[in-house]
């Protein structure tokens, strides 16, 4: 079986690999009811549609890569492959191929965390919790975590900052109502009340990341704007969102200039005649 690479010390080192499978085979077929999920699995959110897709693939082609398990309390605890295990149940399988590895509890925890991070199976919040588990359980620095998972320290640090956000914001990120760009903008606000106020505006008005950054800047300058001052600010947020959408459409810098209370002008910038021709074609003039 191919070795999984990129694991800091390597899977073999973590698990002190010994051939302990039934009949000394590379893997054996295990009844699915004898398998249990890892209690320290960092992945908490399994998208139903993705599981359905994997289940359909398993029905057609079977499980290509065996699960990696360890013996635990009379059962087999998953080290790697919980998504395959869940999808196999959806597919109606009664047994699955597994590879047994002897591993300490610490090794199982570390491998489960690192394996999920490196496979990019986690959402941003789950990944942040995985980094924190490595820091706290193994008493290592963020720099050491970064080395073990093959990331730079800035990535780890920025991920851990997400856990400072309120639970509601974290849930929005998991459910993809808010993006990482929204989250980074909200981290600039220290007050939970202001964060919640910004969250409400973002979700209610479907603000872009750029518009959210503008909203955060305004809230930092004036956390409690009066009712009379709120109205003129709202079009600015809308304008920022429109500019961003137009820039994506034309792949050029776009500026909307407000003049007075109602009018204004729309500017689409170009660098050469070819770019101008492309923009004109998009406008269908």
Positions annotated as catalytic residues are 82
The CA distance from 81 to 46, in Å, is 12
Q: Using an 8 Å Cβ cutoff, are 68 and 38 in contact?
A: no
The CA distance from 247 to 140, in Å, is 44
How far separated are the first and last CA of the chain, in Å rounded? Answer: 60
> Which residue do the tokens 């990019």 mark?
120
The CA distance from 186 to 171, in Å, is 14
- With DSSP H G I counted as helix, E B as strand and the rest as coil, what are the percentages for the chain, rounded to 5? 55, 15, 30
Closest CA to 44 of 168, 134, 155, 129: 129
The CA distance from 29 to 85, in Å, is 13
The CA distance from 215 to 210, in Å, is 9
Q: Using an 8 Å Cβ cutoff, are 236 and 214 in contact?
A: yes
């Amino acid at each position: 079986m191919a070795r999984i690479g990129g694991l800091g010390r390597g899977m073999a080192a973590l698990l002190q690999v010994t051939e302990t499978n039934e009949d000394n085979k590379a893997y054996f077929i295990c009844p699915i009811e004898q398998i249990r999920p890892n209690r320290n699995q960092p992945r908490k959110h399994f998208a139903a549609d993705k599981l359905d897709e994997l289940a359909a693939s398993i029905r057609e082609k079977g499980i290509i890569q065996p699960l990696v398990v360890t013996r635990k309390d009379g059962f087999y605890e998953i080290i790697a492959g919980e998504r395959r295990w869940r999808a196999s149940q959806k597919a109606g399988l009664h047994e699955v191929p597994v590879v047994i590895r002897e591993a300490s509890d610490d090794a199982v925890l570390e491998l489960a965390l690192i394996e999920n991070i490196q496979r990019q199976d986690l959402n941003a919040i789950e990944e942040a919790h995985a980094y924190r588990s490595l820091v706290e359980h193994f008493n290592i620095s963020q720099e050491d975590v970064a080395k073990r998972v093959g990331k730079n320290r800035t990535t780890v640090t920025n991920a851990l900052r997400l856990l400072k956000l309120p639970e509601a914001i974290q849930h929005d990120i998991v459910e993809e109502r808010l993006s990482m760009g929204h989250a980074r903008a909200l981290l600039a606000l220290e007050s939970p009340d202001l964060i919640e106020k910004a969250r409400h505006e973002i979700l209610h008005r479907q603000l872009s990341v750029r518009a959210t950054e503008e909203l955060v800047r305004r809230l930092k300058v004036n956390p409690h704007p009066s009712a009379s001052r709120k109205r003129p600010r709202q079009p600015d947020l809308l304008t920022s969102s429109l500019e961003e959408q137009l820039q994506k459409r034309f792949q050029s810098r776009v500026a909307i200039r407000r003049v007075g209370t109602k009018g204004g002008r729309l500017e689409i910038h170009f660098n050469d005649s070819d770019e101008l021709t492309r923009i004109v074609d998009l406008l269908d003039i």
